[in-house]
Structure 1
Amino acid sequence: MRDGPTLRIPFGILLLLAGLTLYVMGVVWASQWIERVPVLVQTIIYLALGIIWLLPLRRFLIWMETGRWR
C-alpha cells in the first residue's frame, strides 16, 4: 500500500472523468447510426457499449492505488 499521499489518485480521477466524457460523446455521436437498426439490435449494441468501458478500469484503478499497471 501507499506510505503517503500521491498525486496519482486525483490525477487518475480527472483522467477517468475525461476519458468517460470522451467515451460518452463517442457513443452519442454513434447513436445517429445505431438508431437506424432494429430495437433488439440497438439493445445489444448499447449493452455491449455499457460493458466495454469497464474492461480497462481494473488496471487503471490498480495503477491509481499502487503506481504499477499489473
Structure 2
Amino acid sequence: MSVRVKKFIGTILLIALVSIYALVATLVAVSLLGAASTLTHLAYFFFTGLLWILPAMAIIKWMVAEPRSR
C-alpha cells in the first residue's frame, strides 16, 4: 500500500477515533460523575484526555511506516 493511501486512511481513522472517543468519554462522565467531587472530575478528564494518545500513536506509526519491499 502506498504511503499516500496509508496517510489518507490514517487521517480518516484519527478523525473517527477522536470523535468517537470524545463522545464516549463525555457520555461516561455525564452518566457516572454527576455527583462526584471536583477532584474526581479533574482526575477523570486528565486521564481520559491523555488516554486517546495511545491508539493515535499506533495509527500514526502505521501511517508513516515505509512500505515493505517485495
TM-score, normalising length: structure 1: 0.78
Which structure has more relative contact order (CA 8 Å, sep 6+)? It is 2
Q: 1:5 to 1:56 in 2, by over 3 A?
A: closer
Structure 1, unaligned stretches of length 5 or more?
none
Deviations 1:23-47 (A, max 9, x none): 0110121122223211111101110
1:23 aligns with 2:21: yes
The count of residues paired between Structure 1 and Structure 2 equals 65
Paired-residue identity, %: 18
Question: Gapped runs of 5+ residues in structure 2?
Answer: none
1:1-70 correspondence runs (5 A): 5-32=3-30, 33-66=32-65
Structure having the larger proportion of residues in helix = 2
Moved over 3 A (4+): none
